[in-house]
Every structure is written in C-alpha cells, then in structure tokens.
Structure 1
Amino acid sequence: MSGSLTQALYTAQSGLLANQSALDAVAQNVANVNTANYSRKIVHLEQRVVAGTGAGVQISQVTRAVDEGLLKSLRKEISSFNQYDAQQSYFSRLQDVFGAPGDNTSISHVMTELGQAMEALAVTPDQTLEQSEFVRQAQDVMLKLEQMSSTTQELRLQADTDIAQVAGLINSLSSDLVSLNNKIIQNGTTGADVTDLRDQRDAKLDELAGYIDISYFYRGDGDVVVFTTAGRTLVDNSPVATAHNAASSVTSTTTHAEGDFSPIYVGPQIADNDITSEVRDGKLKGLIDLRDNTLTDLQSQIDELAAELRDVMNLVHNQTAPYPGSSTMSGTRAFLNVGTAAVAPAAGEQTITFANNSDTRITLFDASGNQFNTTTVQAIMASASYGSGAAAANGPWNIAEVASAMQDWLQASGTPSATVAINSTTKKLEIDLNSTTYYMAMRDEVNTAGTIPAPVGSTASNATIQFDANGDTVIDETVSGFSNFFGLNDLFVDDNADNIWETEVMANSFSASAATLTVYDGTTSTNIAIAAGDSLANIATKINAATAAGVTAAIVPDGSGSRLRLSSNDGGNFTITQAAADTLLTDTAMHSADVRVSTQLHVRNDIISTPSLVSTGAVSWDSTKGVVGEYYRSKGDNSVIESMSKVFAAANAFDSAGALGSSSLTFTARATSIVSYNATIADANDSQQAYQESLTLSLQSKSDNFRGVNLDEEMSNLMLFEQAYSAAARIASVIQNMFDSLERIFQ
C-alpha cells in the first residue's frame, strides 16, 4: 500500500470521529438506562475505502437492539390483555349490584323473602301487617330488577362513551405514526441517525396495540404501514381517520344489530367502513363485547325473569278480586281495533272466542261478601237484552260488543251508573261500577256437561280465551283466564306498548317453514311471504322490504343464538300473525317482546297505596245458600294467595335468555342462576386477565432484557472506544510533530 503523512492524518482523524460517535452512543445508552421504550444503540464500524485504498474507518450504521419477532408477539398479547383489562371495572360494578347468591341485597335473596311473605299472608290473609309486608317485598323485587336493569344500561352507555374515547386515541396515534414515519424517511435520506425516532414509533405501536388488534410491515424506506388484523388500513402514507359518535342515552332496546349505535368508522363514514363486528382484540374489543354481548345477555336474563314473574303471578291474581270485590277495574291489554258494538264482528275487528266449554261468572257482592246478583259472560252475550242483541254462542265477539253487553247487564242488575268501555286513549278495557254498595268479582268456570251458559256452581277453572288479533277469523293467541286476558286485576304491571315483537332465542342455523305473515296495526294489514328454508336473516330482509308494514326487523344476538325482533317505525302498537295452517310464529314463539320489562315492571299503584287490594281469596260456591245455592266471598279465604305461593315455589318453565338455557326452576333458583352467571363471567374475566397479564409481563421482560442497557457491557465498550480514541489521537499527535519537524527543516 502507498500513503503519505497527510493520508495517515486523515486516517487517524477518521478513527477519532468514529470512536467519538461510538462514545456518544455509549453515553446515550448509559443516560437512558432507566428510560422506558429505549432500545440499546449499537454502533457498527467498517473500513473506509477510497479509490480502492484503505482510508481509515467509518460508521456503517447505528442499529437498535430489538427483536422484531418478539415485539410482534408482545403486541399481540398486549391487545389480548387490554381486552380483558378493559372489562375489569365493569364487572366490579356489576358485582356490587348483582351481589352473590347469599348476599342480602341479591335478587335471589329478595325473591326468597317475597316467597316467605306470600306464605305468611296465606296463613293470615285478612291481616293488614301481612298484606303490607307482602306488598313491600313485592316492591323490593321490582326495585331490585329495575336497579339491575338500570345499572346494566348505564354500563352499556359508559362502554359506548369509552369506545368513542378509544376511537379518538386510535385516530391520534395514527397521526403520530404518520408524522414519525415522515421524520424517519426524511432523516434517513440524509444519513442521519433515526434510531431514537424508531424507538418513539415503537412506543406508539405498543400503545396502539393496546387499543385494537394490529398487523404491520416496514417498507424499504423505513416507514411502517399499520392495519387491523381484519385488513383495515390505519396508517399508510397518511393517517386514516377513526371515529365513533357516542350515544347520548341507552336503553334495553338499544342495540348495534338494529343500528341504534353509531358505527365505528375507519376511513370515510359510510356503512362499508364500519369495523364494529371486525375488531378482534384490544380495549376496543373488550368494550364492544360488553356493550353488545355480555351486558345485553344479562339484560335478557333479567327481562325473562321479570316477564315470567309478571305472567305467572298475574294469572293467579286475576282469578279473583280483592275482598269483597272491586268497584273499578282497569285492564292492561291495549287493543288495535275493538270494532263497533255489533252482534256479528266485521273484518279487521279483533275478537275473542270461548273454547273448551269455558265461561266466566260475573257476580255482584255486597260489603259483607254476600251475592247480590250473578250471571256469566256467555249468558249476557247470548241474551237479546244486552249489547246489540243475542250473539253467537262462544263467540267470536268483538271487544266493543263484550264491553257493551257487560255494561248493560251491570246497569240492569244493581249498579245503574256502571260503565264498561274501551279507553279512547289507552285502548284498554275499563270498568267502573260507580257504586259504594256493590262490588264485582269474576270466577272462570267450565261446564263439564257442555251446556252454555255454565250453570251456577260449575267447576272453577281458568277460561280458555281465543284471540283473533287481526280480525281475519284465524285464532292467533290462546290465553288462560278471562280477567287475565284483559289484565283486569294484574298484580304486576309494566305499561309497555306492544310496539316491539320478537321470537325466542333461535339457533343461528334456524330454517323456516313456509308461511304468510301479516303485520296489522289496527287499520292496515301487510302480508309477507316467507319461503321454506329461509333463515332469520332472510325473514328480516323480506319484512324490511315490505315498507307498508311500518316495522323494522333485525337479528339481535342473544346468548349462543339470535332473536328476530320487529320494531314499529312510529312507536305505535301492532301485531304479527300467520295464516291458519302456518306454524312459523309458533315454531319461533313470536310474542310481544319482554325486552325492557324489568325496567318498567312495578306493583300496581292502587295496591301499593292500599295493600288490602291484594287478592287473597276466591269467589266460592255454597249449594246450601238460598234456593239453588249462592256465591260468596270470605275475608279469611286464603285460596288464591296460597295458590300464588305454591306456584311461586314450584318449578316454572323459563325460556332461553342470554346464555342461560331453557330450564324448569323456581323463581328463586332462576334468580340465583342469574347471580351465579354474573359471578362466573366476572371470575372468568379475572382469570383471563391475570393469565394475559402474566404472559404480557413475561414477554415484556424478555423484550426489555434484549433491548435494555447493560451497564457492565457499556463500561466495557466505554474503555474499548476510549482506548481506540486515545490511540487515534496519539497517531494524530505524532503526525503533527512530524509535520512540525518538516517545516523546521525547510525554513
């Protein structure tokens, strides 16, 4: 090789500069030994060659001590950990409200106390204290159901608010990553060190992974492209906007499936860019699962329990009236088209028909419970003296004619000012005797001999009422009990409109039988043809295509299956029926939806203010009274409250709701199942969160150990680079002396 003093000086200078940069890297490493997200910088040296001749040393590159494969695994686990961690505070609050099965504040405990109050009232049905205690315990159950439901919806609202927050943070991080990408490319083009910028970008990627599941890759120019694991781009040459508008309020009928929540958009805010159903991990996934699955399942369980309690208890309570009877009755069933009072109902008018030799006895009692007058519904409907004239035996009768005939009989039988009519606003049956002398009570009977009307003293048994809900002469619903059909003596009321209908929980593989469905709002009928083999989604599509029906259909997830839910577009009542030979609605158990029942259900207001209005005893028959026997009321009769107590304590058929399968359980046992389910999923989340935390910390520790600064190693490097720097400086000093000597020679 050839050279000169000048070349030697340049070579020594390169050693000074290279080792100076290396020393700076060591200094940076030592200074950031405790800095989070800092990766150890490694200076790589290489021989500098100019015109094929060695010219000293130069820095080839400065790299970071990172394991990209380990970082990818870590970010995946960060996403999973944050999914469960996001739910911790929610489950904690649910536990506070739902409690444990043995807690005095749990729904299972208050159910038990209600059962005990029934038993106590059955022993002394005429005692004010026991009546008041029963009403108080019933109110406590209603309050607990309402609290559970309200808390569930408050948490769903909070989850939706948090989703909007997370969407904003994802949006901000996407912008930060694009900015760092640009800086890395700009600085990398000029050969500047970009390792610190890469550290900052890694920290942003870690944070982003905590919010949403991500995948990414690096381009040759050093920038990173980030997208969700479902393939939605979050970061490219420019940030992609992520947005979600939080709901202002949430109720049990608010669902993502029905479009009630704003979508989570990535990119332009169009339907195709909604990623709500695509998110697979991260805090966002945890919040979505809470809002749309976990909490809605709990709500479904609460509503099923509340609806069953309402229906079972009201059926028994409607078998009679408070002692000695009622002077006013207000029904809870709202009708769509009661028709005009007439012997023969017209098309489109809703009608009832008595079946199975059923009849309902209407009796007026004096203040002591003695019979004053009695008849049956069959008798007054068949009589030319009441209503519009003699109607067909058993029916069908439109509702207006039934009300008219009952009013005529009451006015002619001791209560001349009595009114029986359908309220023009609520569309519900209302009875007012306008009398302080007599009281009315009903008793369903069956005439085993088959004669109509049922003779006095016939066997007490719930009447079978067949209801034509759209006036097409096809029976659409069968209800047990005349008073129960109208809801004249309900114990529990919810005041919900019949503007939402839904099926029971159906398997996602459900396949329909052919049917013609009819949506009826009291004036307009819209027919919808369903083909054999249609899925729930196909049925929903066909219903939505029938815009004249005025309803919107949606498939709502519930537990491991789904419900087909129909909602009125204008909030008005409607019904859905099927042709006579069809079974689709029967197969799916389509019914006026139970959703929101637990929020609205309460003890009837007049019973709250006057607990003695609780019906405890039945209308009884005594064949020895009078000439042919008489009906009477006994203040100490406990037959009805005892029946309620037995039904409450007996196994009841509960439908599948929110991951709780259909079962035959007592009300207390079903309530315990709800509490246990909540505790189980909370515990499962704790376990998953603890496991993911352990795994994440383990990977984080490995990554930190790999990328972190080792002071012993840095001290070793410091001495190495210091010696190299000193040697290069010594060479430069010697060469400088040689130049000085040459200058003196030539002077």
Structure 2
Amino acid sequence: MSLTGALYNAFSGLTANSRAAALVSTNISNATTEGYGRRELALTPGSLGTSGGVRIAGVIRHNDPVIIADRRVSDAELAYSNSMYTHSKQLETLVGESGSAGALATRVTAFENSLLSAATDPSSSQRLENVATSATSLTQSLHKLSTEIQQSRQAADTSIGQQVESLNIALGRLDAINDAVVKASSTGSDVATLYDERAVILDSISDIVPLRVVQRDRGAIALFTTNGATLLDGSPMEIGFETVNAIGPGMSLADGDLNGLTVNGLAMNSTSSGFFAGGSLAAQFEIRDQAAPESQAELDAIARDLIERLGPGGPDATLGATDPGLFTDAGTALDPLKEVGLAGRIELNSLVAPDSGSVWRLRDGLGAAVQGEVGEGRLLQSISEALNTSSIPSSATLPSVSRSFVNHISEFSSNAAGTRVRAENEHSFLSSQNTALSELEFSKGVDTDQELQRLMQIEQHFTANAKVMSVVDELMERLMSI
C-alpha cells in the first residue's frame, strides 16, 4: 500500500471515529429521553478504485417495533382503566361508606332513628322537627348524588372534546413529519431525529386510542385504530365532535341529545364496541353514555320507591289517591312516566317541612284537618315499618326482587363499592403489565455502560488512526530529506 493510500485510510477512520464518538455522546445524553432511539453509525468499505478505508453510510436508529406496539396498546388499556377507576372511585366517595358522616346509608339510618324517637314521644315538637330535618337531609343527599352524576357526564363530554382536539393536532403533526421524512430520505439526510419526534407523538395518541402503525414507502407511516378506523393514510382524517353546554338526566346519544364522533364528516360508532374503543376516549364515552346513566337510573328508581312507599296506599290513610305523599316530585304527586331524573327532584312534602309549623301532620297524617291526640305515634311507627317492609319495586330499573327501601340503599352502596374494587383490581393489573412492557422497551434502549465501552473502543481506534498518520508523516519527511 502506498503512503498516500495509508494516509487516506487513516483519515477516513478518524472521520468515522469522530462521528461515532458524537453519536455515543448523543446516546448517553438522551438515555432517558422519551421516544429516543439509540443511534449507531453505519459504515461501508471504501469505494472501488480507492486504497480502502471506510465510508459513512448513514445513521441507524435502533428500536423494537413489536415491543413498542405492545406497550402502546397497553398504554390505551391503562388509560381506559384509569378513567373508569377514577369515575367509580368518585361515585363511591359520593355515596359514602355506611356509618360515615354524610353517607347516603347514614342519612337513611338517621331518618329511621328520628321516626322511632318521635314514635316514643309523639307529643314532642322537637322530635317531629328532627324527623322533618332528617327527611330533608335524605332528599338533599339524593339531589347531590344526582347532580354529581350529571356533572361527571358533563366532564366526560368536555374531556371527549379536548381529546378529539388533541388527536387532530397530533395527526396534523404526524402528516407533516411524514412529508419531512420522505423528503429527507430522498436526499439521504439523517431522519433519526424526525423518528424520535414521531415516536413521542404516537405515544401521546396511544393513550387516547389503541394504535396500529403501518410502514409506507420511504419511511412514511399510516395510522389506524386497532378496531380498523383510519386516522392517517396519505393525509390525516378529521375527527369531529361537538360538546354540549349542559347535560341532564334524560339526555342520551341514542335520542340525539348528545353527540358522537365523526370522521371526515361521517358518523362513527362511539360505543365501547366501536372503531375508537379501548383508550381514554372510549372510557369517557362509556362514562357519559353508560356508567353514569346507569347509576342515575338506579338512583331515580330508589327515589321512586321511597315516594311510593310513603304515598297514597301507604301508611298514611289520610291521603287521597292523587295526593302527594310524604315525599314528592318537586312538590307534586309522582308520575310514573317521569321517573328519569327523579332523584334530583324528590322533596319532603312542604306541609311538614322543617320550621313549617305543621310538623304535627307527621303524627296525625298529611290530610288531617286538625291535630289529633298528641300521644298517638302509630303513624310514625308505620312509616318506619314501611321503610323496612320488603316489596317488589315498581321501577323496571331495580331487580324484580322483594326488598325493603333500606335494602335498596345498601345494594346501591355495595354496588358502588364493588364497581370501584373491580376497577381498582383491573387498573392494578394493567398498570403492572404496562410497567413491565415499559421496562422491557427501556432495556432495548440506551445502555450507558455499553455506550462507555464503545467510547473506549472508539478512542483506541482513533489513537491507532492518528498513529498511522503520524508514521506516514515521518516517512514522508524522510523521503523529502533524501
């Protein structure tokens, strides 16, 4: 080999080692950067007709697409589970633990106790006032639960709008990156940084919907949901959704009161079995259109059961067939066809409201013309017994099983706690699974120990090439001095 050839070989080696050292430095500094893929220099032998050496062919970005795809699906499952767990936990907190202050079951118990206390001394105006106060507290608890359930639906609707907006912005950015990748690939430019940016965007979308990424020509990608909806293929889809200003108990997607998703203007199935199922977006639809309405319907049915138990045909024989009972629908008699939202409208009959001056009607009957014997406590006792008498509820929402009003409340509280426990268990499992996949993905990323070892090897190679250049320089000086 000629001295010129040796010099060329050493110089090409120095250039490659310098670039490789820069990549190692970049790898180490970005070891914990989200979306970063480890870089490695691609080298090829020198071109024919030269004296050898190496040529930089490009930069290789390492990742494991299978692990990343599994982790992104896990991200969507975890996001869905987290939303459902948060909702169930909030509902359980609102219902309250039996025996705790402010819990729904505690309000019922307080109402029962006030009735029994008043029945032992029906002449006591204070005890009768306590009955009216505890009954009002019970209705207020039902009101609060109903209001909070509808607010959770409103929050879900708002969240859907925000997630759709984020999804559209992300798809637009991915489309721009696709264009940049194709252009860079055509000119032979380094696209690793673009791939990093794209990975971060895909990760942000994977929380919203589970993704399937398909490679296209020259480094571009197409994007689909795992259930088959196209998000990006050549151009991004426009996901549409319109929020509503206020949600009431009777509003639903099926009736057209609430909105679903559209893709390029075409309506899409927005249920848990639709094209966008599986991520946080689907969870918000389930909360808005299924989980919360089911809780509302059960609460309304419980309110109806309470009104019917203590209405006409119940313990108060002074009531006419069309008279409002002890509990009313916003002051009027119950209309069975207007059960929806009843928990938010139920009220204690104004005739016996606290501080009304006529709480004696709790003892003598709502329809009594005048006060009766002040020591008569049978009606108060009968009201208490009616709450604990088992009967089949009129509402089709509740199971057609003979139960007392107290049992209905206990069942509602137990259901809320049970739903939370199941959601928590699923969330714990999916969280562990996601952590394991994330750790596996991370293990395939930058290993700083290996990078430092590579840096030592590069330093040795650099020194060797520099030594060759030094020797060639000495030889050339000797030749020139002859």
Specify if TM > 0.5.
Answer: yes
Contact 2:269–2:275 (CA under 8 A) maintained in structure 1:
no
Identify the match of residue 197 of structure 2 among 195, 200, 217.
Answer: 200
Q: 5 Å matches for 1:639-650?
A: 639-650=378-389
TM-superposed CA distance for 1:313, in Å, is 0.7
Give the aligned partner of residue 306 of structure 1.
303
Return closer, same or farther for 1:717/1:496 CA change in 2, 3 Å cut-off.
farther
2:461 paired with 1:729: no
Aligned to 2:415: 677
Aligned-partner Cα distance in 2 for 1:743–1:662: 109
Equivalence for 1:594: 339
1:697 aligns with 2:442: no
Which of 227, 246, 254 is equivalent to 1:257? 254
Aligned counterpart for 1:651 among listed residues 364, 387, 390: 390
Higher helix share: 2
Q: How far, CA to CA, are the matches of 2:110 and 2:393 in structure 1?
A: 21
CA displacement at 1:241 relative to structure 2? 2.3
* Residue in structure 2 matched with residue 218 of structure 1 by the alignment: 215
Structure with the higher fraction of residues in strand conformation: 1
State the match for 2:457 in structure 1.
Answer: 720
In 2: Cα distance, 1:142 partner to 1:691 partner = 39
For residue 46 of structure 2, give the secondary structure of its aligned residue in structure 1.
strand
Contact 1:184/1:197 (<8 A) preserved:
yes
Residue 490 of structure 1 aligns to a residue in which SS? coil
Q: Distance in 1 between matches of 2:304 and 2:439?
A: 52
Which of 120, 136, 141 aligns to 1:139? It is 136
Aligned to 1:245: 242
Whole-angstrom distance in 2 between the partners of 1:289 and 1:68: 31
Q: What's the secondary structure of 2:298's corresponding residue?
A: helix
Q: Match for residue 24 of structure 2? A: 26
Residue identity in the other structure for 2:39: K
Question: Could you tell me which amino acid in structure 1 is paired with residue 360 of structure 2?
Answer: S
- Could you tell me which of 603, 607, 610 is aligned with 2:348? 603
Q: For 1:208-236, what per-residue CA distance to the aligned partner results, in whole angstroms no more than 9, with x for missing partners?
A: 11111211111131112111122222223
Deviations 1:335-386 (A, max 9, x none): xxxxxxxxxxxxxxxxxxxxxxxxxxxxxxxxxxxxxxxxxxxxxxxxxxxx
Query: Which residue in 2 is equivalent to 1:490?
Result: 325
| Number of residue equivalences | 476
> Which residue of 1 is the match for residue 290 of structure 2?
293
Question: Counterparts of 2:54 and 2:161 in 1: how far apart (Å)?
Answer: 54
Q: Find the counterpart in structure 2 of residue 628 from structure 1.
A: none
**C-alpha distance in 1, partners of 2:332/2:227?**
41
Using CA pairs under 8 Å that are at least 6 residues apart, name the structure with larger relative contact order, 1 or 2.
2
Aligned-pair CA distance for 1:267: 2.5
What CA distance in whole angstroms lies between the structure 2 residues aligned with 1:722 and 1:185?
35
What code does the residue aligned with 2:459 have?
E
What residue ranges of structure 2 are gaps of 5+ in the alignment? none
Deviates more, 1:311-320 or 1:238-247: 311-320
CA shift for structure 1 position 724: 2.2
Q: Deviations over 1:656-690 (max 9, x none)?
A: 777x6333221112101111111111122222222
Q: 1:281 to 1:657 in 2, by over 3 A?
A: farther
CA gap of 1:11–1:709, structure 2 versus 1, over 3 A, is: same
Letter in 2 for 1:191: G
Inter-CA distance 220–737: structure 2 relative to 1 (3 Å threshold): farther
Corresponding residue to 1:283 among 263, 276, 280: 280
Aligned mates of 1:695, 1:634 — CA distance in 2: 70
Selected match of 1:14 from 12, 15, 30 = 12
Distance 1:49 1:496, change over 3 A: farther
Give the distance between the partners of 1:619 and 1:234, measured in 2 at CA: 65
- 1:245 deviation in Å? 2.3
For 1:497 and 1:313, the matched residues in 2 are separated by 14
The runs of 5 or more residues in structure 1 that have no matched partner are 322-441, 443-482, 502-590, 621-631
Contact 2:8 2:51 in 1 (8 A): no
- Give the Cα–Cα distance (whole angstroms) in 2 for the partners of residues 311 and 134 of structure 1: 18
Whichever of the two has the greater Rg, that structure is: 1
How far 1:24 sits from its partner (Å)? 1.7
1:281 aligned partner, one-letter code: G
Task: Describe the SS at the equivalent of 1:100.
Answer: coil
- Cα distance in structure 2, aligned partners of 1:90 and 1:30: 41
More displaced 10-residue stretch of structure 1: 242-251 or 736-745: 736-745
Amino acid at match of 2:406: T
For the residue of structure 1 that corresponds to 2:71, the secondary structure is helix
What amino acid is aligned across from residue 9 of structure 2 in structure 1? Answer: T
In structure 1, what is the Cα distance between the partners aligned to 2:169 and 2:317?
A: 66
How well do the aligned residues superpose, as a CA RMSD in angstroms? Answer: 3.0
Task: Please report how far the alpha carbon of residue 104 of structure 1 lies from its aligned counterpart in structure 2 after TM superposition.
Answer: 2.9
